Amino acid sequence: MRVTSGFIVALVALSSTVSPVKDVDNSERRTSIINGNEAEIGDYPWFASIVTRFSLLGFGVICGGSLISSQYVLTAAHCGDRTGEDIYIGAYKYRSTEGGAQLRKCKQWYADPDFQFEGTAEKPQTPFQFDYALCKLDSPVTIAGPLSTLVLNTNNEYPPPGTDTISIGFGVVNIGGNIPADILQEVTIPTISNEDEVCIEENGDRPANTCTCGPSFVRLNNGDGTFKDVHIGVTSFGTFGCSGTAVNARTSFGIDWVKSIVCEDPAGQDADFCQTAEPTSSPTSTPSSFQASSPTCTDDPGFEANGKKCERFLDRKRNKKCKKIIDRTLVADSCPSLCKRSCLTCKNKSGKIKLKNGKRYNCKKIKKKKKCKKKTKAGPLANEFCPAACKIEGC
């Protein structure tokens, strides 16, 4: 007997919903991606866009997935059986092979036998238990010289809360809209919890209160211009009545079932995780130990955006800009001293800090006027710029 499938809860700036699942009434659901940015050609060669045809509405994206072997795509079981439908591997443009995408069909659909559409008696508010599915393609896919490679995470404790993850997919880009994005969208989302769902809304973002079926992953820089994308979850559902969260079915909880299908099929045995008992390329340590090999709080001297270095670029709207991806790298990774709380020092910022109301004060005045907990124009609270003056914990 398997334990209840694990979930990763993430704050969402991107939300998606599935279009109608076969034999299930989901008529009010639609795919949506809010606050995302356009991806670049070749950024995600393993991403799979599953496209279906509705009798009245024409074509529509039903789900997102991930190519985990040359002939298997991992997605969500709640998408419904997609046998015979189009799948665009390396999708960059909506329903197109532009940008090098390859078109295949879903030859055979497998859903986790423990999948439950509704919540359990123990967890009635947690639907979609064991929300894993596989689509076997009608022919293999070969990706030449990919910018990024995908590995499946097997560590139930990874990633810890607060880790920045990336989610990608197609969908409407405005709340209430009904036209899918023409270009693949990406967004960076911090995880909130490793346990049950948590309702959190941050900085006034207004995501759609629904769910997605695409991948969530942690992007690791190999240091040679390429990346390792660690697949940590299939986005399963959102907190309907609780804006701002998306819940992912943990990859690590579904890996044994995935192996039982893919690794027993000669067509799937080229997958890395079929070669050894444990995927050697999957992370076995926490992000902190991974980052320990390099200075975690040193800004990249080569970073430049709009002609500006880290400090000038992040002078305004810092929280939003830190989550952007520029030149295929998360800004928070390029400018950690300004983006990551763990890099906060006890040194006050020189000069004046502009508060959200437009007024400017130096750190001494901010303390005197009791403005330490006021928001700045850049996004963070004033005490992050004046940790010594505001006497934050540890200073």
The amino acid at residue 29 is: R
**Within a domain: 348:** no
For residue 152, what pLDDT band results from cuts at 50, 70 and 90? very high
Q: Is pTM beyond 0.85 here?
A: no
For residue 389, give the nearest of 369, 370, 371, 364 by alpha carbon.
Answer: 364
The per-residue pLDDT for 175 is: 55
Q: Are residues 255 and 365 in the same domain?
A: no
Q: Are residues 116 and 245 in the same domain?
A: yes
Q: Are residues 163 and 211 in the same domain?
A: yes
Max mean pLDDT among 151-160, 290-299, 358-367 falls in: 358-367
Q: Are residues 374 and 329 in the same domain?
A: no
Token output for 35: 């606050």
For residue 27, what pLDDT band results from cuts at 50, 70 and 90? very low
Instruction: Look over the chain and give the mean of its residue pLDDT values, rounded to a whole number.
Output: 72
Max mean pLDDT among 220-229, 257-266, 324-333 falls in: 257-266
Q: Are residues 173 and 43 in the same domain?
A: yes
Distance CA 95, CA 99 (A): 12
Token output for 186: 């990406």
Distance CA 189, CA 167 (A): 7
Sign for the pseudo-dihedral over CA of 152, 156, 158, 160: positive
Would you say residue 242 has pLDDT above 50? Answer: no
Q: Can you tell me the mean pLDDT for 165-181?
A: 69
Stretch among 36-45, 239-248, 377-386 having the lowest mean pLDDT: 239-248
Stretch among 56-70, 85-99, 121-135, 377-391 having the lowest mean pLDDT: 121-135
Q: Are residues 189 and 321 in the same domain?
A: no
Domain extent at residue 366: 353-389
Distance CA 294, CA 190 (A): 21
For residue 173, what pLDDT band results from cuts at 50, 70 and 90? low
Max mean pLDDT among 9-13, 26-30, 172-176, 240-244 falls in: 172-176
